Structure 1
């Protein structure tokens, strides 16, 4: 890696510090990432702050990565299915070639340490990352994953609705206050399987639903309890695709606890509704535990058909409220570590952020980047400027 780029741990830091990106634009992209998801580079391109070609040129020139033109490359389908669809979509990455113990992967950002770690984890192969255009990666994912699959590929595809679990999200590390204490208590009861077997975690975006669901997954893993942690939107794609994929998924879920994220994002198609009803039917019939996370109260999810609505009507509801200012300050302190803020600055941030705790994560990330070398003093004025991007 060239000397200039070597001192940066992320692409965002490099773009910012080397002047390829202005701070307001960086903060704008970061805010959009927290609100809409996706990768930072994807949001930079979508906002028109960098073109795909400019991004590739920077990565090739300053970080020594190699470019793959997917529009001219024949991708090996056998290689593709080593990466589950959910991982491919999350990190904008697609496998293109496989040798004995290694996998060549085209990525939007080959420097993304979390993406590389997750891909290595799910494939158990040595990863050779390359950079490709985001649009070409998305086109390849859409085209190849939707094609008819042979038996072996189907088995790989079955796990595609599984969500990569963040090992840092556990219930022990969850900051508790009045807004979430009841939900945490119910989550622990669900893990024990005594009083709560069917749990619906309900809360507005950013209040901690996914954290609790992932915390449940971590506890079940420690207890050696078989489970699947699934994305409902990706389940919908499975249901609306090849019938063989859906049947294989049904078989794979037999005997396992189900954790369903983004339940309110279920599609309106009859196929997806019927498939999820069937999944729940089997779980209820077998006495298996089911927990789901939703941004909307179950009664307010208009897309649910009567049959599916009836199946979730008996779920215990764990409602997450708006986090208190004290919780926000504790979260800030946890995220910033040794980079402690003055009390008046903490209070300013706590008062001027919404119930979406992703704002706290985004602000903490910006403050850490600013104070990385101690060159920038964190003042009330600077923080007010950062907060203005969230209003």
Structure 2
């Protein structure tokens, strides 16, 4: 398995990991519906393990605040675009694990009222009384629409016990139908995270959720506000659709290991977002497709000697409704940002994405550049980042 020789002499901050028992760790706005089992707490930051294992009562519901933006520097957590000065912005205020309040700002029309804790009344939102009457009416209207959408989700959830997989598909469809831009209805619980992808067994540390397979946390991986994200095939590794197997790849550029190690030392979290529809399409050879893809990724990580978080979108491009996790859809990023980054807000000015599918004449698609645009990340093609930047 993956071994980074203590990851550049980083000393673990937990002396006796074996003494720790498995814990439940809650994510997101509605912790009762977003819980994952963390099988090895020693791989969490010390503050996260302490918070998860404490006997303190559950955290208070997320507070909402509304105001007119004081400047144009803040960006929306949903669409990643800037919020214009003097325009209405809505924020969700939650407690960071380290003890301070953290506000996530949104455009008025982007705020996910349907996914947040219920709002008793518009007047309960801090700052509501200071708004102009027209802006107050806009918020009231959005609250009503959010309540109606929540009722639809509740109706679906009542039938989840009978057919959980079908229930999840309906939630995805409902979320995609309710806005011009995809809004993921992310409901993650321990029962949603699987040791297998359909009938294919996954290697240790790899898990499956709906149509994605992910390596959520490995030795020495640290969450960060700075994300260095990469495609895999044609970007980090040379591969061919005609060749199958964990060893059927080669390094795309000689500078890659040094470049990735440098980013890690600078405090970036390295993340791979890759599509692999063969895992879904090869129904009779799915195990071979899974072993080939995961094997290549693990061998690559061992070669570059740096921890990397990995998300594999297994859905096909022709699916109806469209798979919310397959690039260029931003679903993999949303999952990483909201569920697997310790609640840290991403610094979009320092973060970036590198991929080879940029819509150029000889490119197979424009999925990578469209993915970066959907998320709001700076975009580079591999030769620009790994050769020109040297």
Do they superpose with TM above 0.5? no
TM-score (norm 2): 0.28
TM-score (norm 1): 0.28
Higher strand share: 2
